[in-house]
Structure 1
Amino acid sequence: MRILAGQVAMSLAVLAFALISLRVARALPAHERRFAYAWTITGGSLLIAGTNSLFHDLFAIIAFRGGPESAAWAAVLRWHPILNHSRTFLLSTFCVVLAVGLYRMGRMKQPPSVAAGLGTVAAGMLVGAAVGAHEAAFSGLTHFSAVAVYDIMEMAAVMAVLVVGLNSDAMDRSLWVALGVNGFILALSVLVFAALSRIEIVGQWAPSPLQMQWTKAALHALVVAVAVRHLRRIRRGLPVRALVDASPRAAVLATPHL
């Protein structure tokens, strides 16, 4: 149950970061609205991901309390791949949408609308769910190996958006740092799930799931702290700093369009 509690803590942290991101987007002053698009897409995407994750956690808790012989236990084993892969594909798609938006804004073009971007992210989640539905019957070897592989895909997507962000005046430093910490969490997850896929092999080392879950929860809490600090600075009227010098034409793309 302590492992599941750590997972719930991570889900709540993701939801908290999503809600704060949306508040950051609304709180940005008129002369810094060019940062609002990235925060809005981030907040909307992670709101979907966090809700998905929290549902998964509560489902797993019900199964845990019912025991291995319960219908809930059998159901959650069937839904593990569907829910896990749906979030991975969702977040990978989010990174692609954000990278495309930042790239277009850097070239003084309109990014995809927020509605179109979030619709694409939701479609990515459905693709991931379909991939999970076609996975073989649940086992640590098959599922954790697949999670590690797809986490590499997501990590590559995060690295791509961080690189694009380095050359964009539409992503501020706080969001870049927050996504960078998420990239580190993903790198950690790849190593952990690769090891956990061999946990049933006699003599094979694997990390403690309890320690890893709470380590990741602490890192997610750090991401929330970054967003909270950023929001407080905006409300105090302090300037928002981009990773590169702002373009004098950035005002053209100031407000996210629906």
Structure 2
Amino acid sequence: MITLMSQAAISVWLLVFAVVAYRIAGTLPDDPAGFRFGWALTGSAFLIQGINSAAHDAFAIAGFTGGPDSWAWSAVIWWHPILNHSRTFLLTTFCLVLTARLVQSGAGRGAWPWRNTTPILFAGMAIGGFVGWLEPEFSGISHYTAVALWDVMELLAMLIVLFVGLTSGRMDRVLWFCLGINAFVLAVSVLWFAALSRIDFAGQWVPMRYHIHFAKATLYAVMVALAYRMLRSLHNGERVQGFLETDRRVAPSLHG
């Protein structure tokens, strides 16, 4: 039950972060650095991830209450790799799209509307779901090893977008720190699931599942706090800061 509660907390924080990201994107004015696009795309990716995660939680709760002999439990086992890998590929796709935007010359609001990227995010999630569907019958060593390996892919994509965001000057500091926290979550997740893959081996130490979920929920809460603080700062007319460019004072947008 502790594991289910911590998983549900993750879904809640993901959805709250997505809403705050959308609010930030709606408050930021049109900006040649592309800060607004970054927050809007982030809101879309984390909203889809949060909904996916909440659906996964619903399956897990139904399976837990029904017991190992129930149809719900069988559904959980079948959907588990599909949903897990779909979220991994979703955020990997998000990183690739954001990286492409950051390196795009002459970035501006009209150059690449963020709404046009939503189908790309869904396509990435669908590919991840297909990878999960191809996974052999569920077992600790096969699935948790796959989760750790695909998380390495997502972590590398996240580190690339952080590097490009730092050097291009087109990602504001708060978004960079939020995605940096997410990268740290991924790094911890890789180690944790690599250890958890040994769960079927007698005499092997494995971490408790709720440990990683509790750590993730805590770090996502920090992301929400940082984003909310930026939203309040924007309403107060404070500066939006990129890493390698002059600080600028901005006024809130009248729309969004």
TM range (shorter): over 0.9
| SS of equivalent to 1:18 | helix
Alpha-carbon distance change, 159 to 36 in structure 1, aligned in 2, over 3 angstroms: same
Distance in 2 of aligned mates of 1:183 and 1:31: 26
Residue 96 of structure 1, CA deviation: 0.3
**Aligned partners of 2:33, 2:159: CA distance in 1, in Å?**
24
Displacement of 1:28 after TM fit? 1.3
Kept after mapping to 2: 8 A contact 1:13/1:224: yes
1:141 corresponds in structure 2 to: 141
Q: In the aligned structure 2, how far is the partner of 1:237 from the partner of 1:57?
A: 39
Q: CA RMSD in A?
A: 1.8
Give SS of 2:240's match. coil
1: CA distance between counterparts of 2:115 and 2:228? 25
* 1:34 CA displacement: 3.1
Deviation of residue 126 (structure 1)? 0.4
Query: What's 2:71 paired with?
Result: 71
What residue is the counterpart of 2:236 in the other structure? 236
Alpha-carbon distance in 1 for matches of 2:205, 2:214: 19
Do the aligned partners of 1:32 and 1:240 also contact (CA within 8 Å) in 2?
no
- Relative distance call for 1:30 and 1:89 in structure 2 (3 A) is closer
Q: What TM-score, normalized to structure 1? A: 0.92
The whole-number CA distance in structure 1 between the counterparts of 2:31 and 2:45 is: 25
Amino acid at match of 1:167: T
CA contact (8 A) 2:88 2:128 kept: yes
After TM superposition, give the deviation of residue 212 of structure 1 in Å. 2.0
- What is the deviation of 1:197? 0.5
Partner of 2:127: 127
Q: TM-score, normalised by structure 2?
A: 0.92
- The equivalent residue for 1:98 is 98
Instruction: Give the 3-state SS of the residue equivalent to 2:158 in structure 1.
Output: helix
Paired residue type of 1:230: M
State the one-letter code of the partner of 2:153. M
Helix, strand or coil at the partner of 1:167: helix
- Which of 202-211 and 191-200 deviates more? 202-211
Q: Retained in 2: the 8 A contact 1:3–1:213?
A: yes
Q: Which amino acid aligns with 2:106?
A: M
Q: Which residue of 2 aligns with 1:3?
A: 3
1:214–1:70 Cα change, 3 Å:
same
Unaligned runs of 5+ in 2: none
- Report the number of matched residues: 247
Structure 1 residue 246: deviation in Å? Answer: 5.2
Q: Distance in 1 between matches of 2:29 and 2:94?
A: 25
Question: 3-state DSSP class of the match of 2:36?
Answer: helix
Between the aligned partners of 1:208 and 1:193, the Cα distance in structure 2 is 10
Note if 1:156 corresponds to 2:117: no
Structure 1 residue 206: deviation in Å? 1.3
Q: Distance in 2 between matches of 1:45 and 1:14?
A: 10
Distance 1:131 1:212 in 2: 23
* Aligned match of 1:80: 80
Which runs of no fewer than 5 residues in structure 1 stay unpaired? 249-254
8 Å Cα contact 1:169-1:247 kept in structure 2: no
Residue matched to 1:34: 34
**Which segment drifts farther, 238-247 or 228-237?**
238-247
Between the aligned residues of both structures, percent identity stands at 47
